[in-house]
Structure 1
Amino acid sequence: MSSRFRDRQVTAWEFTDEVLVHCPRCRGRAVLVPPPGTSTADSRWRRRLVCPACGHAEDLTSHVVAYPGNQGRPDLCDPFDLGLRLFLQVPCRGEVLWAFNHAHVDYLESCVAASLRERSRRPDAPNAWHRRMTMTAKLPAWVKSAKNRDEVRRALARLRAL
């Protein structure tokens, strides 16, 4: 078990370059990625869905970008509000533990496994409110609770195996 975690001041958006979702055609594991040649400014609005299982490929455009965190609907929403169900989700402690991709699972694992979590100060944050708005700060209390650590780590291992 890692004893120390230093918050890298990342937001959930930093894990959305590749989002694993259920394929709308075969319900297998598909991936949402930016289409080739998409500018960074455009990448939150345009995505390409690719399913290696059935070969389905489709370019999608979102008109509303949801906040990554799925605001109470983790079993329904991808972060682009395309109506695609996230692939990486498992029940844990009566809630749903989810991640966008395996890099997201790794980051959550490093946070949950640590007995000491340190916040580092963002040099570009103008005030304390901006420093608190990291993904780690927004994790639900049940995920960060030491008494749930073993169960959450087992759930993260199940996510990693998907």
Structure 2
Amino acid sequence: MKPPPHRASDPGLRRQQFGHVVWVHCPQCDGPAKHNALGVKCIRCGYMTIPVIKPAAVQWARITISDPRCSHCRNPLPDTSRPLARGGDENRPVVRVRCPHCAKTMAYPARAWSAPSRASQQQPRRLKPYLTAQVAGNLLMVDNLAHLSALETYLGAALRERGPVRGLTMMARLPAWMKSSTNRAKILRSLRQLADRASKDGIDE
């Protein structure tokens, strides 16, 4: 990463305008996964969710095989309704299932199915941000590489200027601990470490 400039100006953007994805922990393998309007896609295990075509609908699917077994080790698979399914053709969906025995993730043909009873439903796990670091007792969270680069440029500058856009831009909303000159070196070091981690884990945007 290049050294930050001496002077930086607020680009006038909101946080969601930096980059097109948010990197999160995959709910299945804990690896890096892209999260955007189309759903979640893990670059490590292939876990993927399908976009909901009808916003008011919740899509549940179930493996169509009567005795579902892992294609790799042939051990039984959990035969349950799954809210996270995908397929190139919404009329012929598939579900990606991680075998509890061999840990292999495979795609299986599925069909629309009713949701499980209220008693058996679990609250969906909150997606945890992937690029995070502890800095001076605070949590530094980075959405993607564009977000990381913008923070490094602005927070690394000795002179920070207000940009042409007034109001609650991302830079204007940064907490005091991030803007503090006392934490500048720690924040820049953490951002470089996150950039190295992103490169090592295959994060490319």
Same fold (TM over 0.5): yes
Aligned to 2:34: 31
Tell me the distance in 2 between the aligned counterparts of 1:13 and 1:52: 21
5 Å matches for 1:18-57?
A: 18-34=21-37, 47-57=38-48
Q: Which amino acid aligns with 2:143?
A: F
Q: Which amino acid aligns with 1:112?
A: L
- Residue 16 (structure 1) shift: 5.3
Does 1:94 pair with 2:137?
A: yes
Q: Which structure has the larger Rg over C-alpha atoms? A: 2
Once the two structures are superposed, residues 64-118 of structure 1 have per-residue CA deviations (whole angstroms, 9 ceiling, x without a partner) of xxxxxxxxxxxxxxxxx98200001011100100110011000000011101111
Contact 2:27 2:125 in 1 (8 A): no
Identity of aligned residues (%): 34
Aligned to 1:58: 49
Does 1:9 pair with 2:12?
A: yes
- Unpaired segments ≥5 residues, structure 1: 35-46, 64-80, 123-130
Contact 2:133 2:139 in 1 (8 A): yes
The runs of 4+ residues in structure 1 deviating greater than 4 Å are 60-63
Q: Which amino acid aligns with 2:158?
A: S
RMSD of the alignment, in Å? 2.1
Once the two structures are superposed, residues 118-147 of structure 1 have per-residue CA deviations (whole angstroms, 9 ceiling, x without a partner) of 11232xxxxxxxx23010011111111112
Does 1:148 pair with 2:183?
A: yes
- Unpaired segments ≥5 residues, structure 2: 57-123, 198-205
Give the direction of change, closer, same or farther, for the CA distance of 1:83–1:26 in structure 2 (3 Å limit). same
Give the direction of change, closer, same or farther, for the CA distance of 1:15–1:156 in structure 2 (3 Å limit). same
Aligned to 1:70: none
Q: Given the two structures, how large is their TM-score scaled by the length of structure 2?
A: 0.57
Tell me the distance in 2 between the aligned counterparts of 1:20 and 1:153: 20
Q: 2:155 aligns with which of 92, 112, 134?
A: 112
Q: Which amino acid aligns with 1:143?
A: M
Q: Given the two structures, how large is their TM-score scaled by the length of structure 1?
A: 0.71
